[in-house]
Amino acid sequence: MEKEIAEGYIVGFTDGEGTFNLIRYPNKRVRPQFLLFNTNKEILLLIKEKLELDCPIFEVKRIKDLIKSRKKCYRLQARSRADIEKLIFFFDSNPPIIKAKDYSLFRRSYFDWISR
């Protein structure tokens, strides 16, 4: 892709459309996961390229769509250790504003996860 996306845009996009979350398994193991959602797949591809992530982008099927437009929605899903490390490196230098607490918990959980 020839288009470039700015770091500040990625931070703002994440604050609005992203999720730093934790997957909890039945054995009480916790794993960090980063998700970004949007109806414009190209934006997700630009972010993925800029951050050098090796994660999938899935088409998400919406169960209930109130406006009945049925636009396709896409989800960038980063779960691998390598991708999470790249995200932490990026967000340590470009901290989120709205999701600062979520990021802090996500980051701490990552270091707990790799120390096991």
CATH at 90? 3.10.28.10
- Residue 29's pLDDT is what? 79
Residue 1 falls inside a structural domain: no
- Residue 4's pLDDT is what? 83
Say what percent of the chain tops pLDDT 90. 66
Range of the domain at 22: 7-114
What are the tens digits of pLDDT across the range 53-63? 999 999 987 66
Count structural domains, the chain.
Answer: 1
Residue 46 falls inside a structural domain: yes
What are the tens digits of pLDDT across the range 37-78? 999 999 999 999 999 999 999 998 766 655 556 678 899 999
Residue 73 falls inside a structural domain: yes
Residue 2 falls inside a structural domain: no
Q: Which long-range contacts (CB under 8 A, 24 or more apart) does 67-73 make?
A: 71/39, 72/39, 72/41, 73/37, 73/38, 73/39
What are the tens digits of pLDDT across the range 10-46? 999 999 999 999 888 888 778 899 999 999 999 999 9
Residue 35 falls inside a structural domain: yes
- Residue 90's pLDDT is what? 97
Residue 71 falls inside a structural domain: yes
- DSSP H helical segments within 2-99, as ranges? 7-17, 41-50, 81-93
- Residue 1's pLDDT is what? 46
Q: How confident is the model at residue 115 (pLDDT cuts 50, 70, 90)?
A: confident
